[in-house]
Structure formats: structure tokens, C-alpha cells
Amino acid sequence: MGLITGLLTLPIAPVRGVVWVAEKLQDAAERELHDPAVLRTQLAVLNKELEDGFINLEEFEREEERLLDRLDAATARPAPRDRR
């Protein structure tokens, strides 16, 4: 980046920084959303909630199906690349 370009784009530097932080947050959220270990933990918590009577069988089955679909999709997709 040349001196002139650097001076001309200086006013938008904070915007670029916010965009960079937002991209990093989105990447982290997507990794957690599709992480099989996190999904398995959520399934275990769901089972515990059913056993303890916090949810009924209908709610359990609906949520279990959603989590199993996400787990199936997460194991079928390739691992996300780390964009740096």
C-alpha cells in the first residue's frame, strides 16, 4: 500500500476493523454451530432434561430430530478452513 493510498483510505480504517472483527465472530459462531462435539453435548443435555422432567416427550423428539439433522450435516460437510 502506497503512502497516498494509505492516506486516502485512512478514514475508513475503523470500518475495515469492524468488518474484520465481525468476520472473525461469524467464523467462530459457524464453527461452534457445526461442531459435532458441541452437538453431542447438546443431545446429552436434552436427554437429561427429558429424564428430569423439564421437557415432555414431544418437545424432546422435535429438538432431538433438529440436533441429529445438524449433526448429520456437520459430519457430512468438510472441515471449515481457517481464513486468515
What pLDDT, on the 0 to 100 scale, is given for residue 66?
94
What pLDDT score was predicted for residue 82? Answer: 53
pLDDT surpassing 80 at residue 77: no
Whether the predicted pLDDT of 80 surpasses 80: no
In Å, how far are 15, 16, 17, 44 from 3, measured between CA atoms?
Answer: 19, 18, 19, 56
Whether residue 57 is contained in a domain is answered as yes
Q: How many domains does the chain have?
A: 1
Please report, rounded to a whole number, the percentage of residues in the chain having pLDDT higher than 70.
Answer: 89
Domain hosting 63: range is 31-75
Whether the CB-CB separation of 31 and 52 falls below 8 Å is answered with: no
Choose the weakest-confidence range: 24-28, 64-68, 79-83.
Answer: 79-83
Closest CA to 23 of 80, 83, 79: 83
Residue 23 lies in a domain: no
